[in-house]
Amino acid sequence: MATVTEKLEGMDVWLYHGRIYIPNTYSAGAIGSRFLIELRDNKRIMGARCPACNRVYVPARSVCKDCFGQLDELVEVSSRGTLLTYTVCQRGSRVQPVETPIIYGIIQLDGADNGFVHMLGEVEPEQLRIGMRVQAVFKEKREASILDIKYFKPLG
């Protein structure tokens, strides 16, 4: 791993520049686990509805980002949605699960109030349009992972 050091101008302080690969694991939590199990067992995308402000978050989360209310009601949202924005990554990395180029999109699923980050497939980058309709493509063999959704493809 290449590193570079430099002295901070006018000070007796040295800076060390490097890159650290940090594998990590965290609990999906009770509601996040239910979200993943529904993906695996029923190919259903679940959101969490806030009882106070009625917002529906996908993926399901345990706390409302607006009012900090506790969320424990799951509601099914559509596997179809609208592409809000996207980016095309030409370079892969060890944490990317697919071949490049990778197209990431933020998709607002029908019935949800927030954007859902996932990959897009069966589409060329030049065909992408903000506002286009897309739908989830599920893997045949699912394992309670966000990648049980293979990608979203344009609605044909």
- Residue 110 φ/ψ, nearest 5 degrees: -65, 125
Q: How many helices (H) and strands (E) does the chain have?
A: 1, 10
Q: From the CB of 108, what's the least distance to Zn ion, in Å?
A: 18
What binding mask, one character per residue, do residues 32-51 give for Zn ion by CB under 5 A, x or -? Answer: ------------------x-
Q: Cα dihedral sign for 152, 133, 83, 81?
A: negative
Residue 114 or 135: the one with the smaller Cβ distance to Zn ion is 114
CA angle 38, 42, 46 (to 5 degrees): 40
Residue 42 or 70: the one with the smaller Cβ distance to Zn ion is 70
Q: Is 67 in the site for Zn ion (CB under 5 A)?
A: yes
Q: Is 75 in the site for Zn ion (CB under 5 A)?
A: no
Residue 30 or 53: the one with the smaller Cβ distance to Zn ion is 53
Q: Which residues would be at the binding site for Zn ion (CB under 5 A)? A: 50, 52-53, 64, 66-67, 69
